[in-house]
Amino acid sequence: MKTRITELFEIEYPIVQGGMHWAGFAELAAAVSNAGGLGIITALTLGTPEKLRAEIARCREMTSKPFGVNLTFLPAVTPPDYPGLIATIIESGVKIVETAGNNPQRWLATLKAAGARVIHKCTSVRHSLKAEAIGCDAVSVDGFECGGHPGEDDVPNFAICRSVTDPLAVSFDVTHNNTSPPAVHGYAMDKRPIPPGEKPRAEPEVIPPSGDDRQSESSAAHIRVFVDAHGIRHIHR
């Protein structure tokens, strides 16, 4: 299967795992990459440059195929060691970086100089166009139904996706967090690749923070999902 994303990231299928806090370890990233998609290690789950370096090395023991690292820039009183994490990504030879959260422009020159291709998660049309303007190689369109941080506009995936199809020149993918029909719709929309979002969290390659988490995630009802922190502009599901 050949699309702009498969060519950009040198993968077999247009499936991008996407970073997931407390799930994006080497086991899941390697499994996705070995299956022909793009696996992603989540840097902030590891927390420190040393632990990230070790996780990248573990992933390389499990796959010889391309994988990336997610780096989410969030407001914090005591921010993570972003310079150290970025240096580790570069020194470890990772060539695909998924950024999310705040504008990644401050770090783009460093990443691009090291030969990295950057895909930025966007929750609106304006953010997608901004990501393109500052030099991101691709964007991931995440609507209001996505997991994690769904943005402030409360606009669903396919409304945003259809709106960015014409003005956006770089490749973009469509996030979904449920089952196969959204994936089919996304691919049908000009062969857009699909980050499967929260769906893999109950798979055996995911290492849950506690023994009960996988069962609770597998059986959770939709009524247990809520969105918080609108008032402080740090919205999360």
The predicted pLDDT at position 237 comes to 46
Q: How far is CA 97 from the centre of its chain?
A: 9
Kindly report, residue by residue over 115-170, the tens digit of the pLDDT: 999 999 988 888 889 999 999 999 988 776 666 655 666 677 777 776 777 777 77
pTM: 0.79
**Which of the four pLDDT bands, split at 50, 70 and 90, describes residue 226?**
low
Q: Which amino acid makes up residue 57?
A: A
Beta-sheet pairing, 138-141 with 39-42: unpaired
Tokens of 31: 């499994």
Q: Which amino acid makes up residue 233?
A: R
CA 44/CA 207 separation, integer angstroms: 15
Residue 178 has pLDDT above 60, yes or no: no
Sheet strands (E) in 146-216 = 171-174
Element (H, E) at 117: strand 117-122
Q: Average pLDDT of 161-186?
A: 59
CA 155/CA 72 separation, integer angstroms: 21
CA 104/CA 107 separation, integer angstroms: 6
Percent of the chain with pLDDT over 90: 46
Helix (H, G, I), strand (E, B) or coil at 63: coil
The predicted pLDDT at position 180 comes to 42
Tokens of 157: 């995936």
The predicted pLDDT at position 234 comes to 52
Q: Which residues of 15-42 are buried (b: 16+ CB within 10 A; e: fewer)?
A: bbbbbbeebbbbbbbbbbbeeebbbbbb
Kindly report, residue by residue over 57-95, the tens digit of the pLDDT: 999 999 999 999 999 998 888 999 999 999 999 999 999
For the chain, domains (ranges, CATH) are 4-224 (3.20.20.70)
Residue 208 has pLDDT above 90, yes or no: no
**Which of the four pLDDT bands, split at 50, 70 and 90, describes residue 22?**
confident
Residue 212 has pLDDT above 50, yes or no: no
Kindly report, residue by residue over 47-67, the tens digit of the pLDDT: 999 999 999 999 999 999 999
Average pLDDT of the chain, as a whole number: 79
